[in-house]
Amino acid sequence: MTINWGWLTFIVVVFILAVVLLVMCFCLFFDQALLTRRGTVYRVKSSKKQIALTFDDGPSPLWTPKILDELKKANIKATFFMIGHHVKKYPEIARRVIEEGHTIGNHGYAHSVMIYYTLPEIEEEIKYSEVVIKEATGVTTNIFRPPKAWLSKELKIKIKSMGYQIVLWSLNSKDWVSFNHKYIVKYITRHVKPGDILLFHDSGDVFKAEGGDRLQTVLAIPLLAETLKAKGYEFVSIREMLT
């Protein structure tokens, strides 16, 4: 039998492209937090029309101040899950977050995927980030959000034994993909429910946790505030939502 190398190459290339496309669609549209919600706080059952805005991966010297400016204009208190390594680099921005009445949560020190960590490793990672946040802001946080939402049952038990509540989200803005802010707001408005915890980012993008272009996030805040306040929603911090 003669092998038609041309066709074989074509079929292999199409197969590889199809796999890449499938992986990209999975990353863009599937929210992995759906798989790891058990034993965490991801939304709050409430009769009040309250929602909490959360921003992950900061502080960023470029984007966090712009986000803080928009939150101040809209009179919204939010929650920032910060990476310890970024707090160490930009402590003055972490301080501004606290000074303006927002809440800080722990997002680990190095933004590593933690699902394969040992118990001593997870303790060290969270404690070190806790110390860095305390040194920068004077605040000790007791809420933790794992990078990419991935945690095993064993790690969740360990983190809770350290006095932390594990907070995920119920509505993912997917802002890290840099969709247009009007689309982000339209998507949230269509799906939002009382007690939702919304995920945004004040740093990073699809490939990295620092830098990135968060302009669409910045632009989304005033439009989201106007749209949801008109529907009777109140924006509160995680701390307020949990009390």
Q: How many of the other CB atoms lie within 10 Å of CB of 86?
A: 27
Residues designated as active site:
56, 201
Q: How far is the CB of 153 from Zn ion (least distance, A)?
A: 21
Q: Which is closer to Zn ion, CB of 170 or CB of 233?
A: 170
- The owner of tokens 């907070």 is 167
Residue 50's contacts (CB-CB under 8 Å, 6 or more residues apart) are 44, 194, 195, 233, 234, 235, 236, 240, 241
Q: Residue 217 or residue 228: which is nearer to Zn ion going by CB?
A: 217
Any residues with CB less than 8 A from the CB of 47 and at least 6 apart, and which?
194
CA distance 133 to 135: 6
Category of 169 on φ-ψ map: left (φ > 0), alpha (ψ -120 to 50) or beta: beta
The tokens 């809440």 sit on which residue?
Answer: 103
Q: Say if CB 106 and CB 140 are below 8 A apart.
A: no
User: Which residue number has the CB closest to Zn ion?
Assistant: 56
Q: Which residues bind Zn ion (CB under 5 A)?
A: 56-57, 147
Q: How far is the CB of 111 from Zn ion (least distance, A)?
A: 6
Nearest to 50 by CA among 173, 226, 168, 193: 193
Q: How far apart are CB 61 and Zn ion at their closest, in Å?
A: 17
- Say how far apart CA 186 and CA 5 lie, in whole Å: 49
Distance CA(69)–CA(72), nearest Å, equals 5
> Considering the complex, what minimum distance in angstroms separates the CB of residue 107 from Zn ion?
6
Length of the chain: 243
User: Of the two residues 65 and 84, which places its CB atom closer to Zn ion in the complex?
Assistant: 84
Q: How far is the CB of 176 from Zn ion (least distance, A)?
A: 9
184 or 223: CB nearest Zn ion: 184
Residue 68 CA, distance from chain mean position? 16
